[in-house]
Amino acid sequence: MYNKESALTIKAPTLAFLSLRSLLSQLFLIVAAAALPAIMHLTGAPVRFLLPMHWPVILAGLVFGWRGGAAVGFLSPFASYLVSGMPLPGILPAMTIELTAYGLVAGLLREKFCLKAFWSAAIAILAGRFVFILTVLLFVNTAFGFSEYFQAAMIPGIPAAIVQIIALPFIAKWWVNSAQH
């Protein structure tokens, strides 16, 4: 049977930011962003290669829009620091700015510009990395030259970033579709 009301309903690309269910889900993503690197540090996993904090933050932007992504990105480094003492205080501000940029840009592109999740994730990763580099250049005193720091901080995460661009849109689509039904 044809339902005129459902035919006119356009599903939003992201979920509401301020519902109780959404806030609890965002809290879960903050906990995941804090716990994943702590677990990886304990097991000796290569954190710079896997970028464990980035996954929940970008996912938050894709699922909950710019406000949810920015909130998860902003709060995750502090939560991680409280749990594990990482990221180290010298890099904590730069990572906070970087992760906030990831969530903000992914969510803004997905929610406001209705860009496909793949493009939203890819552009967010590029923007977050650019913001991180700029922040480090302006505010962080590295023990060695910027070129060496850039290579050590950026190059190892490229494979994880590629996997994030491929995987996170599917996870976000599933999450949004599940919540809208």
pLDDT tens digits along 62-119: 999 999 999 999 999 999 999 999 999 988 999 999 999 999 999 999 999 999 999 9
Q: What is the pLDDT of residue 5?
A: 47
As a whole number of angstroms, the distance between CA 178 and CA 62 comes to: 14
- Cα 77-82-84 angle, rounded to 5 deg: 90
Q: What tokens were used for 93?
A: 């501000």
Q: Give 18's contacts (C-beta < 8 A, 6+ positions apart).
A: none
Do 118 and 165 meet the contact criterion of CB atoms below 8 Å apart? yes
pLDDT tens digits along 63-74: 999 999 999 999
Domain range annotation of the chain: 16-180
pLDDT above 90 (res 57): yes
| Class of 16-180 in CATH | mainly alpha
Do 111 and 65 meet the contact criterion of CB atoms below 8 Å apart? yes
